[in-house]
Amino acid sequence: MDYIVVEHIFLLVLVTLFSVMQNAFFAQKVEKEGRSQNVKASTLERVSCANRNCMDSYPTFLAVMWCAGLCLNQAPAAFAGIIYLFARQKYFIGYMGQTCQSTPGFQFGKRILLFLFLMCIVGIVSFLLVRYASSDYKEYVETITSAASALLLIP
């Protein structure tokens, strides 16, 4: 059974591992800023806030990505996940906000989260169609989703 399961989730696991590496990178960045004495306090605060904002939306991102991958197809979900990680990296590097509270971490990657969210809904609707109307559109839906995920590349 393990083999079958891994076949359906290994791309999701890979993206999760990348996100964990990114989390560790963010944390190390904060730690380095905190340790150096002659740094301006504002820099530390800024890095720390960017880290907090990223971590705040992390469980949401994981939940949506895994649901989308399990319900429909792992390939577009993992692809969207990778793009989200790039958006997060860009957000963290270029973070220039001063106040922590005004930016609750959902301002970047909104479109990607929405795409994953729609994937979940499409997956569940498709499952219900198969179950109650016994009409199998799943393959068409998967093809369309894979094609649509390319649209996320448009900045």
For residue 2, state whether it binds a copy of itself (rule: CB under 8 A).
Answer: yes
Q: Is 147 in the site for a copy of itself (CB under 8 A)?
A: no
Question: Among residues 99 and 155, whose Cβ is nearest to a copy of itself?
Answer: 99
Site for a copy of itself in 11-30 (CB under 8 A): 13-14, 16-17, 19-21, 23-24, 26-28, 30
The residue (of 44 and 153) whose beta carbon lies closer to a copy of itself is 44
Q: Give the per-residue SS3 of the chain.
A: CHHHHHHHHHHHHHHHHHHHHHHHHHHHHHHHHHHCCCCCHHHHHHHHHHHHHHHHCHHHHHHHHHHHHHHCCHHHHHHHHHHHHHHHHHHHHCCCCCCCCCCCCCCCCHHHHHHHHHHHHHHHHHHHHHHHHCCCCHHHHHHHHHHHHHHHHCC
**Footprint of a copy of itself on this chain (CB under 8 A)?**
1-10, 13-14, 16-17, 19-21, 23-24, 26-28, 30-31, 34-35, 44-45, 48, 51, 55-60, 62-64, 67, 70-71, 99, 101-107, 113, 117, 120-121, 123-124, 127-128, 130-131
